[in-house]
């Protein structure tokens, strides 16, 4: 991984451990030809690992996030950061921090940021993806919606990456684990070697809904 982007990713605010980020970068770098897409960007830490892969591939990574924060980022929740609240509207706004992360890393040339809900962009998306990385809100409703919206867009031979997959409920929320199990049990994906809470799956059969 390019040293400048690796250093920027390591120092960026966020929740992606470096070993998992490196595994995500490698999966994106080695994926089949096609677009890379990230669902849920927060302040851009994981985006930089994908940006490094995009630069090596001679392409871009598209990120989609409404930038109003997940449920766990709202007031009264575990990961709430008051400094991210826009006083003009009284709501979380992670977009300025995200742009700062990408700009200071010198990665604006390989990151295309879409400010929208994931399902809104998915309804407009028409081409196959080389890699889709799902790391949005971790409620069951949101995780299931992200999976239903984006898994069908992964090309045959492409990679579906899911973050924060914890088999043991004592280690973390179960919504990402449930969509990971859904992908495996669908027969449409086969599991690759992941890292920590990052699961990597390759599409081997067309989506049943396509």
Active site residues: 138
Alpha carbon separation from 163 to 57, 75, 139 (Å, rounded): 22, 23, 13
Cα distance between residue 133 and residue 20, in whole Å: 12
CATH number attached to the domain at 3-203: 3.40.50.150
Q: Angle at CA 165, nearest 5°, toward 154 and 119?
A: 40
Contact 33, 210 (CB under 8 A): no
Cα distance between residue 86 and residue 69, in whole Å: 12
Domain residues of the chain, as ranges?
3-203
Give which of 158, 104, 101 is closest to 128, Cα–Cα. Answer: 158
Please name every residue paired with 191 in a beta bridge, in sequence order, or none if there are none. 201
Give which of 138, 72, 67 is closest to 100, Cα–Cα. Answer: 67
Each of the 210 residues of the chain gets a pLDDT tens digit; together they read 888 999 999 999 888 999 999 999 999 999 999 999 999 999 999 999 999 999 999 999 999 999 887 766 656 656 667 777 777 877 779 999 999 999 999 999 999 999 999 999 999 999 999 999 999 888 899 999 999 999 999 999 999 999 999 999 888 879 999 999 999 999 999 999 999 999 999 999 998 765
Pairing of strands 189-191, 199-203: antiparallel
The answer, as to whether pTM is greater than 0.75, is: yes
Contact 42, 94 (CB under 8 A): yes
């Amino acid at each position: 991984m390019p040293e400048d982007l690796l250093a920027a990713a390591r120092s960026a605010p966020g929740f992606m451990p470096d070993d998992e980020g490196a595994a995500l970068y490698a999966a994106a770098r080695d994926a089949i030809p096609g677009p890379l897409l990230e669902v849920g960007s927060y302040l851009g830490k994981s985006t930089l690992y994908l940006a490094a892969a995009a630069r090596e591939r001679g392409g871009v990574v598209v990120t989609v996030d409404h930038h109003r924060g997940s449920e766990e980022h709202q007031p009264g929740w575990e990961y709430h950061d008051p400094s991210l609240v826009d006083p003009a509207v009284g709501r979380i706004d992670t977009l300025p921090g995200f742009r700062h992360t990408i700009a200071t890393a010198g990665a604006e040339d390989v990151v295309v940021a879409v400010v929208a809900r994931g399902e809104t962009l998915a309804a407009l998306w028409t081409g196959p993806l080389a890699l889709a990385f799902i790391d949005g809100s971790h409620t069951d409703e949101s995780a299931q919606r992200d999976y239903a919206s984006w898994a069908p867009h992964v090309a045959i031979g492409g990679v579906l990456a899911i973050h924060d997959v914890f088999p043991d409920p004592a280690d973390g929320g179960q919504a990402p684990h449930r969509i990971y199990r859904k992908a495996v049990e669908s027969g449409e994906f086969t599991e690759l070697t992941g890292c920590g809470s990052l699961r990597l799956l390759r599409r081997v059969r067309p989506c049943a809904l396509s």
